[in-house]
Amino acid sequence: MTRPERARPGSGALASLPSLAPLPTAAERAAAVIRENIFEGKFQPGTALPEAALSQALQISRNTVREAFRALMSEHLLTYETHKGVAVRALTVADVHDIYTLRQMFETSAIDLLDSGRAELDPAALLEPVAAGEAAGAADDWVTAGTANLRFHSNLVSVHGSTRMEEFFRRLMTEMRLGFLALEDPKTFHAPYLVQNRSIADKIIGGRYDEARTDLTAYLEQAKTEVAAAVAKQSTVDDDR
């Protein structure tokens, strides 16, 4: 006998839940804490993170702090120089342009794939993040809204079916979150995109691929301009300090 069908969270929704299983190693837990602090804005871009300070704050040995740093470096959240230690990554305007150029390439080619019938897409993969973004926006939680937004675009790229592309795109999304930190008013930035994501999702699902491509390209161009401006402003502020 089968159990009655009941509503289940859409694709990707569970991914945003905090994992219940505690991370196995101290280094990973430390990395998680540091990562959290970066995205919370506690450790601002450009901030140096001395090993001794983190060792004391997290109550772990310096060697373990270093392991955590290595992990975050490979996530491109920290920069490193020999004998100078690590610092929270600060995006440059060139970074922002590079990132959006690649997003344009990966996302529009995903639509091409759908358009030509070489790939298929579960509508829920787009609708779930859109709905999650709208819900977060309604609750005035713009960090969650931003993350849902990124999940929308990641799921679109997933139609390529390439594990390496997904991994690479995840990296780009991580860097986007660093860029979001530079925004002065996240609400003003994110709110319009909630509407646009809904529209793009509908067009893709409805098979109106040309319109979707056009809208997406405009979307990315606009977002790039805004984030680049925010990052530029941030770097001038840093210089003044």
Instruction: Provide the binding-site residues for a second copy, judged by CB under 8 A.
Output: 24-25, 63, 66-67, 70-71, 73-74, 82-83, 94, 98-99, 101-102, 105, 109, 162-165, 168, 172
Among candidates 32, 106, 118, which has minimal Cα distance to 75? 32
Task: Quote the DSSP letter at residue 89.
Answer: -
> Which member of 3, 6, 8, 83 binds DNA (CB under 7 A)?
83
Judged by beta carbon, residue 56 or residue 162, the one nearer a second copy is: 162
Alpha helix stretches (DSSP H) within the chain: 26-39, 51-58, 62-74, 93-115, 123-138, 142-157, 163-180, 186-205, 209-240
**Run of H or E including 88:** strand 85-88
Answer for which of 26, 73, 124, 232 binds DNA (CB under 7 A) is 26
**Contact at 8 Å (CB) between 110 and 162?**
no
| Residue 61 interacts with DNA (CB under 7 A): yes or no | yes
82 binding DNA? (CB under 7 A): yes
Query: Total number of residues binding DNA (CB under 7 A)?
Result: 23
Binding flag, residue 70, DNA (CB under 7 A): no
User: From the list 66, 70, 177, 198, which residue makes contact with DNA (rule: CB under 7 A)?
Assistant: 66
Pick the closer one to DNA by CB: 3 or 84: 84
| Distance (Å) of CA 104 to CA 1, 16, 37 | 48, 25, 30
Q: Which of 9, 41, 50, 206 contacts DNA by CB under 7 A? A: 50
Could you tell which of DNA, a second copy, none binds residue 165, using a CB distance below 5 to 8 A set by kind?
a second copy
- Residue from 47, 69, 6 nearest 241 by CA: 47
Looking at the Cβ atoms of 53 and 139, the one nearer to DNA is 53
The least distance separating a second copy from the CB of residue 207, rounded to whole angstroms, comes to: 24
Residue whose CB is less far from a second copy, 95 or 128: 95
Under the binding rule (CB under 7 A), the answer on residue 25 touching DNA is yes
Closest CA to 189 of 158, 149, 155, 235: 149
Stretch that binds DNA, among 3-11, 58-66, 138-146, 157-165 (CB under 7 A): 58-66
Q: For DNA, which stretch binds (CB under 7 A), given 45-53, 110-118, 135-143, 181-189? A: 45-53
Buried b (16+ CB within 10 A) or exposed e, 15-34: eeeeeeeeeeebbebbbbbb
- For the four alpha carbons of 142, 143, 144 and 150, in that order, the dihedral sign comes to positive
Residues near DNA (CB under 7 A): 24-28, 48-52, 59-64, 66-67, 82-86
